[in-house]
Structure 1
């Protein structure tokens, strides 16, 4: 069996406040040396992940917007990123198709939240701490609509019940609630396994790393599950007995988790 590593970004690989990953660089280099692919799987947009992927010199497939968009490569992985062609696959209802329904529900239930649809670049900068150009990339949504929730838990429960007949859900991330189709961060797993097993002609195992509720599906379905503690003190517990819980927040905890995987597997 050969492994791929599927990781969340904010709060898992990247520090939740500064977005830096220096402390994890050693583990990233070790994965590269061992030819273990690193798959980025985030609530971030395609534009954001393409930027981070370039910083990491990462040439593997990646997954955007909580599992809603899978991007694989039409060209060989050793071709320069500029010359690679991405194959884009949508795993759920596109955002443009549910924005009107979301607006009507907000009016009907008198909900109190802010959303990317009505936000300015300055709003997103204020919410996330991103630089303006990066905030613009974060607004290029294709499959999800992030909400900054200001209402009650009771209102959130009612909202979620109203979304169900529309084949939509509202999932809590590290900073936002995300309205999206009935996909999750593990929806890409069968396609990723097929992609790599076809390349390698071997069985593919998945190592997953995450820190938030929206990471639970991939943490529960992966062969090896690694939880990075949230800097907000929120602890997630995947429904399995063999989870490795890192002791440090990102990016140090990511380094710790990969070291655990390498030490116990090889």
Structure 2
């Protein structure tokens, strides 16, 4: 049976090196995906601005899932006709799945213990630079959030749990990433990936077979819903017990080198399906 192949990936610590954000060790495989017509979907807590910058660096124009499943961006050259709920956003159609960032900033501002909150909005661009290692331009892109607010998790676990309990009581979903906890709506990477696959199937008339790769707890929902799942080993965090219990491939190496090896292996296993990914031409 013909299918469309799709690679869906987290970024920090997965396709990007945890420390340097370098992706060069993965570029040969990224280029193979592009030549084969297989979309490389970024599915991350990162912003639209950050993802577009990375796409430009890699020579890509593929769908994106931003801010932990809060919005899907579909390139217009692959989806010529918008559905009624899709918003015009430059080269993309945007499908918003979550409440705006301002909603969660108001809730954070009402928390009694303001000293325990260190978020992107309170630390400013310089603070984002200090905590992420990004340069000024990268920190500006990271701060252009539309749906979520990242926080440095309090070092004291009791204080952290008090904050999470408060936020959950206000309807927020608090997701743990590699560096930050992220406050946002009750959405996740997995549901957004399924929605994207549905749009792709409607557009191209073929079922979608997904490879998903991630390294953080906020990737679990995505990995659980993929056809093939890869856990990228972290250089700083132990493998969660939850992950050890899954039938997922766990890499021995970290970051983009591990990502490249796992994705290349999956490509070789699906080489007989690659031709079906040469998506149909659109005529306007």
Between 1 and 2, higher relative CO (CA 8 Å, sep ≥ 6) is seen in 2
After TM superposition, the structure 1 = structure 2 runs for residues 73-88 of structure 1, keeping only pairs within 5 Å, are: 73-76=75-78, 85-88=91-94
Does the CA-based 8 Å contact 1:211-1:230 persist in structure 2? yes
For these two proteins, the number of residue pairs brought into alignment is 260
Q: Distance in 1 between matches of 2:64 and 2:216?
A: 19
User: 1:148 aligns to what?
Assistant: 152
Name the residue aligned to 1:242: 247
Structure 2 Cα separation of the partners of residues 142 and 181 of structure 1: 12
Query: Which residue of the other structure, out of 23, 26, 33, is the alignment partner of 2:25?
Result: 23
Pair 161,150 (structure 1): closer, same or farther in 2 beyond 3 Å: closer
Q: How does 1:70-109 map to 2 (within 5 A)?
A: 70-76=72-78, 85-105=91-111, 108-109=112-113
Pick one of 241, 245, 252 that aligns with 2:257: 252
**Do 1:75 and 1:84's aligned partners in 2 also have CA atoms closer than 8 Å?**
no
TM-score with structure 1 length normalisation? 0.91
Q: Distance in 2 between matches of 1:6 and 1:241?
A: 18
TM-score (norm 2): 0.85
Quick one: which of 61, 66, 69 aligns to 1:67?
69
2:60 pairs, out of 58, 61, 86, with 58
Structure 2 unaligned regions, length at least 5: 81-88, 272-284
1:84/1:169 CA distance change after superposition, 3 Å: closer
- For residue 158 of structure 1, report the CA deviation from its aligned partner: 2.4
Whether 2:180 is the aligned partner of 1:176: answer yes
Quote the offset at 1:84 in angstroms: 5.9
TM-superposed CA distance for 1:6, in Å, is: 0.4
Q: Is the 8 A contact 1:15 1:251 kept in 2?
A: yes
Structure 1 stretch 161-170 or stretch 247-256: which is displaced more?
161-170
